[in-house]
Chain A
Amino acid sequence: MSRLEIRNLQVSVKTDAGAVEILKGVDLTIETGETHAIMGPNGSGKSTLAYSIAGHPKYTIVGGSVTLDGADVLDMTVDERAKAGLFLAMQYPVEVPGVSVSNFLRTAATALRGEAPKLRTWVAEVKDAMEALNIDPAFASRNVNEGFSGGEKKRHEIMQLELLKPKIAILDETDSGLDVDALRIVSEGINRAKANGNLGVLLITHYTRILKYIKPDFVHVFANGHIVEEGGPDLADKLEANGYADYVSK
């Protein structure tokens, strides 16, 4: 079992007008096997939380701590965080021209597993992962995220989740920009990854619709850089009915 502990995390970002504090003391604990949904309005700092945990250089940690099974995540380089078992499915996956999906996946798997996966089993593994997410096999030879539709990018992220088998996955608005069918396929992928491994999920979203497919154990409402309310799945229903208006003024 693994445990990601976020304690009083404060994060700022540099702007022309100086550093702006975005996260104002976030506390959150996620264990493998659990699904946490973080919900909140635009600009509340949800994505900042995701990218800060993954180590994006744009964000400056001002205070607090993030540990994975006691190890100091904030002290790790970006790749070390991935090797420790963290995964971030990005809202806007980045295009990498000239690097094919198959080359990228194999390089990542090699890095995370410590050795190159055996070619024959690897090819089958990738093929199965693609089929499960309804991804055209021709994707393997395309360049990473280049010319992908929004839905294709998200499926590609979840395919990586399934192949790379992290301990804790942060899914940053994986549901945004998906039509109903793609939302179902992607959600099934996330559920499969959870069923097949010992995975904790931190699901960041605006909308409750993905929660019809992925049942959260905990729901956290995020506003103005910190968590303002926590509860069980029923909190999502309340948000669905009332929106975020109660929280943004707090």
Chain B
Amino acid sequence: MSLLATNYLTPTGREEAWRFTPLKRLRGLHDGAAVVGDRASLISSHSLPAGVTFMSENLAPLAHSDDVIIERIRGLDGQVSHLSIAANTEVAEPILLGRSNGALETAELSRVRISLGEHAVATVVIENTGDTVLAEDLEISLAPGSSLTFITLQEFDAQSVYAARHHAVVDKDAHFKSITVTVGGDVVRILPTVEFIAPGGSVELLGVYFATAGQFFEHRMHVDHAVPHAKSRVNFKGALAGRDAHTVWIGDVLIRAIAEGTDTYELNRNLLLSDGARADSVPNLEIETGEIIGAGHASTTGRFDDEQLFYLMSRGITLENARRLVVRGFFNEIVTEIGIEAIQDRLMNRIDNELEKAGT
């Protein structure tokens, strides 16, 4: 065990990047107070297909980060849990990674790399479970022509803290699709970030979250169109129920002067299912060139639509079931993108349960 270095700029909460986050509940991940436990919890419990390896390696970071937690992680250790998919490998079945030993007394600082060789195609699922304090620097490297569907499931137990950056570096003609699901934990703060390094790439950042009483979930996107002719789509949907449920969605999209032919659209929808919950939603589009295909954003936060509930109830469906149908329907668009039935069913059932617990 070791103490975190304290020679970093500790956020105070006044910084733009930290203004929503309840720093006191981060269990010392941001200010160096956390005691670091010696564990690397990311595991592969299934046998890996040909062309795929998962091992601990000493790797330099792929991309710069100015997030203080990521800096602290990098300052500690060079060891990276590295999932590598060889060039020209097409993996039909999803590659499942999960978590072993979590702990609340000590923090885990994790570095993860997922790399796809040229023209590799794969789906990777990371199931985050248990009670843990986890800071994670997760970097994804997509070689030219590769395609990754990346599914992260934050199904932590109630006391967990997870602060992470999921950063994808997208090379020429590569495709990156991520589905970020956050339904469990006390504080979850994820920075899904993307950087295009060659033209022709495309990304879809999809997400769902459901916060109930007391939970704080933050998703802070950043898509950097630093090259011409790349495409990005962002679509996050969230529901909140219960006192002091709080979600934050930040959608920063930057189209640099050089990024002609950019096509981007970002969307965030929130469903407030009870009083006392708060959804912050901040789309932020910065455009430095007019020579683009399209750029847009939308953000909505609303309550149950009385007309929808009336329509369903007028067919004999009880209020409770009508609400369940509407909430399932709300999330359905993104959950079905996961494409793995067992996970989709589990999530929908969890959403039903959260709704029931919240007793809206």
- Give A residues with C-beta under 8 Å from B: 54-58, 77-79, 81-83, 87-88, 90, 93-99, 103-104, 107-108, 111-112, 143-144, 160, 164
Contact = CB atoms under 8 A, between A and B. Distances in A.
Given A97-B330, A98-B328, A99-B325, A54 B316 contact: no
B332 A98 contact: yes
Interface in B313-332: 313-319, 321-322, 325-326, 328-332
A94 B308 contact: yes
Contacts of B328: 98-99
Contacts of B305: 94
A169 to B, nearest CB: 12
6 contacts: A79-B318, A95-B308, A97-B329, A99-B325, A107-B315, A111-B321
B333 interface: yes
B16 interface: no
Q: How large is the interface on B (under 10, 10 to 19, 20 to 34, 35 or more residues)?
A: 20 to 34
What DSSP secondary structure best describes chain A's contact surface?
mixed
Given A99-B329, A107-B325, A143-B329, A94 B316 contact: no
B236 to A, nearest CB: 15
Contact of B333 (A55, A95, A98): A98
Contacts, number: 85
B237 to A, nearest CB: 10
A79 B311 contact: no
B312 A164 contact: no
A108 B333 CA distance: 22
Contacts of B311: 90, 93-94, 96, 144
A111 B312 CA distance: 11
Contacts of A103: 325
A160 B321 CA distance: 18
The 10 closest A-B pairs by CB, nearest first: A98-B329, A98-B332, A108-B315, A82-B316, A78-B313, A111-B316, A94-B311, A99-B329, A112-B316, A79-B313
A30 to B, nearest CB: 18
B333 A96 contact: no
A96 B312 contact: yes
A98 to B, nearest CB: 3
B306 interface: yes
